[in-house]
Amino acid sequence: MSAWVAGLVLLSALMHAGWNLLVKKGDDAQLDTAKFALGCSLIAAVCLPFVPAPDPQCYPWLMATMFVHVAYFLTLAEAYKHADLSLAYPLMRGIAPILVAGISFAMGEILSSIQTMGILIIGLGIMLPSWMGKPWQTRHQKGLIFSLLNAVIIATYTLLDGYGVRLSGNAASYTLWLFLFNSWGILSVLIWRRGYAMVTTQLFNGWQRSFLGAFLSMASYGIVLWAMTQASIPSVAALREISVVFAALMGAWFLKEPFGLWRIAGATLVGLGAASIRWS
C-alpha cells in the first residue's frame, strides 16, 4: 500500500472517530445517527449533479449494500442497548476486518503473509483493551450476540462496497448514491420505532452539528471506498479500524475516559499491524 493511500485511510479513521465522538457526546445516539444520515442525504443530493453516473455493473451491489447498512443500524442499536460500549464497539470493529480478510481470500483476493499478520494484529489490538478484565457477565450476553452479528454485517457491507465501487468506475459517484438512499432507510427505521411526530419535531435541532457529523461520516467512508480501488480490500478495511485507537484517545482527552495500560498495549499492537500493512 502506498504512503499516499495509507495516509488518506488514516485520515478517514480519524474522521470516523470524530463523528462517533459527536454521537457519544449527544443525548440520544439513535436520533443523532438519523440526523447525521439525513445530513448525508442532503449533501449527496447537492453533489450528485457534479459527478458522472456510476457504471450500471455496480447497481446490484449498490442495492444490496443499502439494505445491509440499514441492518447495521438496527443491530448496532441493539448491541449498545444490551452491552457496554467499551465491550461491544471493539468487538464489532476488531472481528470485522478478520472476517473480511478470510472471505476475500476465499473469493480470490491475494494477501501476502505480512498483510495477513498485520490484519490479525490489528484485530487483536482493537479487542484486547475491552476484553482484559471483562468477565462474560450474564447481562452482557445478549449484547455480545448482537455485537457478533454486527461484525458479520460490517464485513458484509465492506465486501459489497469494496467490489461495488470497483465496478462503478467512480468512487465519488458510488459514495454519493449510497448515502442518498441509505440515509432514508435509516431515518425510516427510526420513525417506525419512535413515531413520525417525535422524530420530525427533533430532526432539525442542532443542524450545524448534524451537518458536521454528516460531512465527517461521508468523507470518511468515501475515502475508504476510493482506497479499495487502489489497494486490497482487507488491508484497507483493517487499516481503517485504527479509528478505535483514535476514538479511545479522543475519549481520554475530551470525555476524561481512562486510558490505561491495556489500551496502550492495544494501541501499540494496532500501530504495529498498521505498519506491517503499509510496508507490505
What is the per-residue pLDDT across 65-82, written as a single tens digit (0 to 9) for each? 999 988 887 787 777 677
Which residues 6+ apart lie within 8 Å of 94 measured at CB? 122, 123, 124, 125, 126, 127, 151, 241, 244
pLDDT on residue 130: 64
**Residue 34 grid coordinates:** 438519523
206's CB contacts (< 8 A; 6+ apart) are 35
Report the alpha-carbon distance of residue 67 to residue 185 in Å, rounded: 8
Buried residues in 2-29 as b, exposed as e (16+ CB within 10 A): eeebbebbbebbbbbbbbbbbbbebeeb
**Domain-wise residue ranges, the chain:** 3-278
The pTM (predicted TM-score) of the whole model is: 0.84
The more confidently predicted of residues 243 and 209 is 209
Structure confidence at residue 135 (pLDDT): 47
Encode pLDDT of 180-214 as tens digits.
988 888 888 888 888 888 888 888 788 888 999 99
CB-CB contact of 90 with 122 (8 Å): no
- The overall average pLDDT reported for the chain is 84
Cα-based distances in Å from 191 to 146, 183, 197, 266: 22, 13, 8, 38
